[in-house]
């Protein structure tokens, strides 16, 4: 019984991603460009020389990271929602993927290069799961908003998408809470400086 359910689930996931292949591929390409830009900016700002920070000197704060992540995600979901207004606003859904990719590139570089083992642990246990799940949920949200019924025009068409996006955002917020607050409190979530201080 469980193997049958597993096959059905795999089949449904496969069908979903085939139906939304353009969105998935476009999102991943934009994300990779953002990651490269984030890594390049951090290296450029410090000239490739990172000041090593010990665990004792690292600024930590799970609460601050959590609320910053929620504000960032809220802005990303708002852009995804607005991208469904009509065909002229579709480009807005590209911005969140570039921005999240940029932050991912910056965070990974700053954490690993400045905080070494402690930073790598933070990245793997706190930041990376949040990024991966957030990207996955954003792709689902984008596919929902850019479905044919949503891009035909008008603010009224966004109401069902708004409700769906609020549910997805709530799931994303719960994921952030688990990894940033609960796991972050255990490992000591590092507050990453701005790109210019990295």
Q: Where are the domains of the chain?
A: 2-187
pLDDT at residue 87, as a whole number: 81
pLDDT at residue 135, as a whole number: 95
pLDDT at residue 53, as a whole number: 58
The answer to pTM > 0.85 is no
Contacts of 152 (CB under 8 A, 6+ apart): none
Contacts of 26 (CB under 8 A, 6+ apart): 94, 97
pLDDT at residue 177, as a whole number: 93
Residues lower than pLDDT 50 in the chain? 1, 148, 150-152, 194-198
pLDDT at residue 158, as a whole number: 66
Q: How far is CA 1 from the centre of its chain?
A: 35
């Amino acid at each position: 019984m469980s193997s049958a359910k597993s096959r059905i689930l795999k089949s449904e996931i496969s069908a979903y991603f085939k139906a939304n292949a353009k969105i998935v591929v476009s999102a991943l390409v934009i994300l990779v460009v953002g990651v490269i830009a984030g890594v390049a900016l951090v290296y450029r700002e410090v000239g490739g020389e990172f000041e090593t920070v010990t665990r004792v000197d690292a600024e930590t704060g799970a609460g601050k990271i959590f609320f910053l992540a929620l504000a960032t995600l809220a802005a990303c979901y708002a852009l995804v929602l607005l991208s469904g207004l009509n065909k002229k606003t579709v480009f807005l859904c590209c911005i969140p993927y570039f921005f999240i990719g940029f932050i991912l590139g910056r965070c990974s570089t700053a954490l690993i290069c400045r905080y070494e083992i402690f930073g790598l642990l933070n990245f793997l246990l706190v930041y990376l799961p949040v990024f991966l799940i957030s990207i996955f949920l954003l792709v689902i949200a984008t596919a929902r908003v850019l479905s044919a019924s949503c891009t035909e025009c008008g603010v009224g068409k966004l109401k069902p998408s708004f409700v769906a996006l609020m549910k997805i955002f709530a799931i994303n917020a719960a994921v952030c809470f688990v990894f940033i607050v609960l796991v972050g409190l255990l490992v000591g979530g590092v507050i990453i400086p701005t790109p210019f201080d990295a």
